[in-house]
Chains A and B, each alone.
Chain A
């Protein structure tokens, strides 16, 4: 870890005045005046400790007033401030009642200790997971290097890696909560230094590796997430979320699936199905959505949707098991709706 100065931001505007770069900009080749935002600090400090990120100034946005509320009403939907902790979301009864998939995604994320510290804004903005990407000794494509270490068919240790959309980078997005947020078609509220606010749908917030391998989301240097907004669920909407892991107490997901579905009787009217740990971004499975829409929710149709989702899977040398695992996870998650 290098020496850095610490700036305690008083407001969003104050924070934005201090900043001149993002985590994405600074990886691997840190500039001498590198700055970085820190809220809960869980992911940022991993990068700093590994020596991959050498900020000269850390701007603490954790104590900015006004970013820490949860508000829900039937008209306006659910508003969650970017500094709200995962623990607060997990224990909110209105979220449990109205957004079950989000509740489940949150309570299965990390550990109780980490949930007490991690914030929602930081959670969706954390960098991807790939142990080569997160190692100082492995200059991979995403860090501006010249190879992908994980993809190699004989040498790549890619058991935990992407099976979909993995043509440019095989890392997986780290946030399993984003899987649920995308399924609810949430908006990310972003403020810039000019004081402008924009609403970005989750589907547009993440940047696929094929488009820009250095970026995982659209955040620019002088931008900050202030809020996540989830629309009020339509009538007869149900949601479900399942995360599969190798170690239940605490683990990154091997597969996680969120389903938000409008139903009439036992028939699916419209479906929003998102896969986590499948691709370098939370992945909306249009294939699964198409397969289940208009159909009865039963084992056969759930299985067909799961298989449709996996029809585009291109596993690597060591992660073929993820295909049957996702088939089972998608099927089960859909069946939880009925």
Chain B
């Protein structure tokens, strides 16, 4: 590969901005300056599809209506653990308007000893058993209720601690494999080790394994903090439920899907039905939220396709809210033991972590890497265990593991600071080597008014005020399989195409910004056609990879197309294309001001109808930490929380959050703020409200609705202010990264620390509710 040397802005404006020289592929564009000197990048740009969304014009998967389309409903297990002896679908099949019934067959008969029947063993309430296609949704639902399933029930366990006991009912009597859904970047969990329902431990991550000598570390410590923290199961509740519309004829299977990964849904459907990828098309034009649980088409996608195959008609299959709660993903709970040791001056000497969590019948219930890497500590070890229970499988959930991990670690650090008689921010200045988080602490503290903070429990009156802080880190992941096509049409019109979907964060808009900046056009001049696997494959919306993965190829493809257009203009003007550039909708000669023409005029010089350039993602400039796409640097945050706690009623109100974040070069301030708002609100919800309640006696979820499963509404949402720190590192042609997951990691820990500051009693478990506050207060009085 031919390379050239190029200088890039490096560091944080207003703090330590300098330059760095990188060796870059020769065909890639020159470095962008800092955002101040750009026209549309780093500005407040309105979403290009805002009008469609707020007027209801945007068509989501559930809105799709095709000629002859049938509506499908799945039927599900009503017991938590059983062998199915028979299923009687005769009443359902005889109901007028029913076109087809499809049952899920047992394909793994060689597995567990009881798993020999015609149908898969039931492992949790809500497990899909089959589906029905009918002329209306009402008929499909009624038919589903007429299906009779006969069970031979088995002992079950839904409670994490009960499942860990030696004589607990066994969920799987054999090793299991982690389901690949692409959501949990780079993590692996071993389901083959361990005893009973406890699998693992996982002791290492891509940042390495245990380090140093823990015994020695704790011997050297002057102060020890040793605690156990608990977090709850948090179910995904995107406004739009999971679902697909499948239109399958002899030439093509077209799948309209509510998905955060069109490409992986295509691969899944092609694989399940043994079709070439060229004959499966997945489309997701608008997306009503995913949070990590929508990387695959689960069992509902193949179900809809099977029903489409049986009936020869398109099939609509969207799940309802109860199905979402029971079967379509959750953030596993955790019990985390944490021991940290420090010298009198605060230097950390040891961090020991041991966690157990349950992702139900799935794996992936660890607590992430945050204790391993957030602070400098020579001696570290973690043991993270997965515990199997008879409950719906977990799924990636906005910073998998790390949200749980941050809740424990950041409270322990807070407690350590207090024992050392240090301010929590000062203490973090001591032990956190990240330059960008240092700036976030400074700028955030100023905006928040951290100096108002008083010692824990010193607030007077019934309603006590408290301030707290929490930090986070998240890796910069890059998906190497990220391609994009940029087209300049003859006579005007610029188009960008990729299978990458806009999960709702504004991907369409930032792509238009990148193209507009490069071509000197307006954002509204660019047409963005994405979310369709007929176009070059882009990344899944997981791991916060989208911005960092797809914007550099977008800029590179645009740059290639631009070079070709400039060559044509240069030929006409009889000059060299290096003398030309584009801005304000014009092509101009850099030295000869008499020579200019509009962009539209220039495109009329094309010989063919279009210039079309496809680019994919090269490695980061200067390489990766890990060759699969773990970039250098991180996506850190510092969040500040102000709370009011009513000590009579136990009611906690989060009054304010200041969220200080970095994501490399910020592309669109309005959208970044919007994403941070969303992350913070989910963090508030995690800290105070959401909680899956499972009945231990029957294995059913008791609050599988939006009435008893509580999410925050308008009055629960605090004032949210954001600090976005620009941080340049010259790693790609855009130098930009995502923020989806970082926005959600530190909030619950910051709130828990603020609650402690308010009432002087620490809560080690979320959600923090009136019940838990009153209980904690009564135990100390």
Chain A residues within 8 Å of B, Cβ to Cβ: 1-3, 51, 111, 131-132, 135, 137-138, 149, 152, 154-157, 159, 244-251, 254, 318-321, 324-325, 328-329, 332
Contact = CB atoms under 8 A, between A and B. Distances in A.
Contacts of A138: 695, 698, 700
7 contacts: A2-B145, A131-B693, A137-B78, A149-B697, A155-B696, A249-B715, A320-B775
A321 B774 contact: yes
A41 to B, nearest CB: 15
Interface in B725-757: none
B778 A159 contact: no
Interface in B322-368: none
A247 B710 CA distance: 8
B712 A247 contact: yes
Contacts of A332: 648
Nearest to B648: A328
**Which 5 pairs between the two chains have the least Cβ-Cβ distance?**
A249-B713, A328-B648, A155-B697, A321-B774, A249-B715
Nearest to A159: B771
A155 B771 contact: no
Given A131-B703, A152-B697, A249-B716, 9 more contacts: A1-B138, A131-B693, A155-B696, A246-B710, A248-B653, A249-B713, A249-B715, A324-B648, A328-B649
B693 A249 contact: no
B649 A149 contact: no
B562 to A, nearest CB: 50
A46 to B, nearest CB: 8
Interface string B760-781: 0000000001110011001000
B708 A254 contact: no
B650 A325 contact: yes
Interface in B30-78: 78
Nearest to A248: B715
B714 interface: yes
Contact of B774 (A3, A132, A247, A324): A324
Most buried by B among A138, A251, A324: A324
Contact of A1 (B141, B653, B774): B141
B715 A329 contact: no
Contacts of A157: 693, 695, 702
A310 to B, nearest CB: 13
Given A131-B708, A152-B697, A325 B716 contact: no
A155 B651 contact: no
A325 B770 contact: yes
Contacts of A248: 651, 653, 715-716
B695 A251 contact: no
Interface in B667-696: 689, 693, 695-696
B187 interface: no
A6 to B, nearest CB: 14
A229 B511 CA distance: 64
Contacts of A1: 138, 141-142
Interface residues of B, number: 33
A329 B649 contact: yes
Contacts of B770: 244, 246, 254, 321, 325
Interface of B: 78, 125, 138, 141-142, 145, 648-651, 653, 689, 693, 695-698, 700, 702-703, 708, 710, 712-716, 769-771, 774-775, 778
A249 B698 contact: no
B292 to A, nearest CB: 24
A330 to B, nearest CB: 11
A332 B716 CA distance: 23
A135 B716 contact: no
Contacts of A318: 771
A155 B694 CA distance: 10
A172 B695 CA distance: 19
Contacts of A155: 695-697
A244 B649 contact: yes
A203 to B, nearest CB: 28
B140 to A, nearest CB: 12
Contacts of A135: 700, 702
Given A244-B649, A249-B715, A329-B649, A131 B702 contact: yes
B360 to A, nearest CB: 18
B715 to A, nearest CB: 4
A245 B653 CA distance: 12
A137 B698 contact: yes
Contacts of B648: 324, 328, 332
B702 A132 contact: yes
Contacts of A329: 649
Nearest to B138: A1
A3 B769 contact: no
B649 A247 contact: no
Contacts of A324: 648, 774, 778
A2 to B, nearest CB: 7
B465 to A, nearest CB: 17
Nearest to A254: B770
A249 B648 CA distance: 20
A77 B687 CA distance: 47
A9 B631 CA distance: 69
A251 B711 CA distance: 11
A250 B697 CA distance: 29
B693 A246 contact: no
A3 B138 CA distance: 9
A112 B174 CA distance: 52
Contacts of B138: 1
Contacts of A244: 649, 651, 770
Query: By CB atoms of chain A within 10 A, which of B697, B716, B775 has the most?
Result: B697
Nearest to A247: B710
Interface centre among A152, A245, A247 (most CB of B within 10 A): A247
A139 B67 CA distance: 43
Given A159-B771, A329-B649, A154 B696 contact: yes
A254 B174 CA distance: 44
A3 B142 contact: yes
A137 B715 CA distance: 34
B689 A247 contact: yes
Contacts of A250: 713
